[in-house]
Homo-oligomer: A and B are copies of this chain.
Amino acid sequence: MPFVRTTESFRAGARTMPREYYASPEVFAREQDAIFARSWICVGRERDFTEPGAFQLVDLAGESLIVVRDREGEIRAHYNVCRHRGTRLCTESSGTLSETIQCPYHAWTYRLDGRLIGAPHMTGTPGFSLADYPLHSAAVGRWEGFVFVTLAEHPPPIDQAFAPLHGRFSRFNLPALLPVRRIEYPVAANWKLILQNYSECLHCPTIHPELTTRLPYTSGANDLTEGPFLGGYMEIRAPHQSATMSGRACAIPLGDLPDEDLARAYYYTLFPSMMLSLHPDYAVYYTVAPVSEKASVVTCVWMVHPDAPSKPGYNIADAEEFWDRTNRQDWHICEQSQLGVSSRVYAPGPYSPRESVPAAWDREYLRQMAER
């Protein structure tokens, strides 16, 4: 992979984005339509939907979706809206549905694939046909064991959208990894500040005392430096073996990793709102859900090799505490940025060469906002 030293990809003169991108409800509404209602958005992993009927409710761009594995094994994403009078069909956040989804109001009944099969007192009405009222559905795609949905009516195939990542993470065994921890963080900051924060480590010496000793911020390089997927790696400083509180590995390796990967931590953003951290012994994925122009919820899931928990030395708490502490340091500074960028006097400031990735992220964001 063609790794690039951070500074080489830097475009001189890059500056942060203006105030309204962080403070304007109108920009937020436009983003919801132009980005979150059109992109492929990660809503979990295939293994979260094991058996037919297994479902989760997902909130996306103001919509409630029922993501469910149907009887034929397909994963579906139905809008949680009855075609009769619009009632929410499901209220539990997750669980297992029977053969059908029945509206609790007037008992309209749908198969798990969305087809309407019952509508009391309608079926004899002239001009009414069950076939005209299936549930509205969103497209579903899969990549490396993750499930993505999109509200776009004519979305690009996910394989095409994710082509730049094809095969890049195969050795990390992602589809098989076992989720072992999950935390939701409410953050009083615009979602973009969270993505930008994740994209550079210039702030690490000031903000993250623990992390800095394990992952020197000037180490490593980026291998994805333009476009919707951005990131690279940092070096794990010996004698540390991983990004954990103790510095020791907390689990067996994720896969059959080459030696160089055993001393690297990889960090990528997947536009718009997914972040993926790969360490030798564990992986973490984040999804950032925008709530308003000044509030977000970040969900963070730790994953290990499926055999790891039964092996000697397993101690995921060592990695969990490391990132929980680091995350909270990051969310706090994002919240302080949110307050500051809302000022009348805030104007775009200069990015340093060490912030080439957030600068590239901003370019991708602006390109997509302009295009849609």
Q: Tell me the A residues contacting B by CB distance below 8 Å.
A: 12-13, 16, 37, 62-64, 79-89, 91, 104-107, 119-122, 125-128, 133, 136, 151, 202-203, 205-207, 333, 336-337, 339-346, 349-350, 352-354
* Contact A125:B12 (CB < 8 A) given known A91-B336, A104-B206: yes
Closest to A102 in B: B206
Closest to A346 in B: B86
Report yes or no: A80 in contact with B340, Cβ–Cβ below 8 A: yes
User: Could you say which residues of chain B place their CB within 8 Å of the CB of A122?
Assistant: 350, 352
Q: Kindly provide the distance from the CB of A137 to the nearest chain B CB, expressed in whole angstroms.
A: 9
Report yes or no: A343 in contact with B79, Cβ–Cβ below 8 A: yes
* Contact A352:B62 (CB < 8 A) given known A337-B86, A337-B105: no
User: Could you say which residues of chain B place their CB within 8 Å of the CB of A37?
Assistant: 344
Report yes or no: B346 in contact with A81, Cβ–Cβ below 8 A: yes
Closest to A91 in B: B336
User: Could you say which residues of chain B place their CB within 8 Å of the CB of A133?
Assistant: 349-350
Report yes or no: A345 in contact with B121, Cβ–Cβ below 8 A: no
Report yes or no: B12 in contact with A86, Cβ–Cβ below 8 A: no
A342 to B128, CA, bound (A): 24
* Contact A79:B349 (CB < 8 A) given known A105-B336, A121-B202, A336-B91: no
Closest to A202 in B: B106
User: Could you say which residues of chain B place their CB within 8 Å of the CB of A62?
Assistant: 342-344
Closest to A22 in B: B86
Q: Kindly provide the distance from the CB of A59 to the nearest chain B CB, expressed in whole angstroms.
A: 11
Q: Kindly provide the distance from the CB of A339 to the nearest chain B CB, expressed in whole angstroms.
A: 5
Report yes or no: A352 in contact with B79, Cβ–Cβ below 8 A: no
User: Could you say which residues of chain B place their CB within 8 Å of the CB of A63?
Assistant: 343-345
User: Could you say which residues of chain B place their CB within 8 Å of the CB of A342?
Assistant: 62
User: Could you say which residues of chain B place their CB within 8 Å of the CB of A105?
Assistant: 203, 206-207, 333, 336-337
* Contact A88:B128 (CB < 8 A) given known A83-B349, A121-B352, A121-B354: no
* Contact A127:B12 (CB < 8 A) given known A202-B106, A336-B88: yes
User: Could you say which residues of chain B place their CB within 8 Å of the CB of A16?
Assistant: 85-86
A87 to B343, CA, bound (A): 10
Report yes or no: A349 in contact with B82, Cβ–Cβ below 8 A: yes
* Contact A136:B353 (CB < 8 A) given known A87-B333, A121-B202, A336-B87: no
Task: Tell me which of B64, B107, B206, B349 contacts A85 (CB under 8 A).
Answer: B349
Report yes or no: B127 in contact with A345, Cβ–Cβ below 8 A: no
User: Could you say which residues of chain B place their CB within 8 Å of the CB of A344?
Assistant: 37, 62-63, 151
